[in-house]
Structure 1
Amino acid sequence: MAIFRNRIAAFSWGVAAVFLFFLAAMTGILFRDGPPDGFSHALTYGMLLVFWAAGIGLLAYVAGKPGVYVAVEPNRAVSIVWRYPFKKDPDA
């Protein structure tokens, strides 16, 4: 049996998860401590909104990228499975 895997999408899912984790951590620190000295509140919170928009856009983009698993049986049967972050779609 021959098995082919494409796990590149899983790497991008991980990068997006790490980015959003650190973004949430920095947001918590910003709300706890306030903006740095010498920076306006409007500019700091505006940049925070830009980063959150980018993070949500990144999440939407990578969630649509599947990882592919292909198995070729000795009797020439082919099984294809598309894996997304929260679902598995066999023979799509």
Structure 2
Amino acid sequence: MRPFSGLNYPLAREPGPHAITVNAVVPGPIQVERETRLPTHHRTAPDRQIARQCLARRGQPEDAAGAVAFLAGPSASFITGQSLHVDGGRLLH
């Protein structure tokens, strides 16, 4: 994983001595009900989104929420200054 926009890496340095971690969750296309309200010309067809990912399914809100819960929990207490891309492998394309 690499720092997202270079922001969380320097931010992680200052609170680190106080055992405070700073990370970012970077979601890819997540399927939400509200997207159906967008004008058609602003939407990307789901099959086009999926074609640009390694995993052949739409991201769900629970996928991003699970990443946040992990980073906020004790299992991630030694992870800081990182970006977790929750994008079905879109970053790899």
- TM-score by length of structure 1 reads 0.31
Q: Which has the higher contact order (CA 8 A, sep 6+)?
A: 2
Answer with 1 or 2: which has the greater Rg: 1
- Indicate the structure with greater strand content: 1
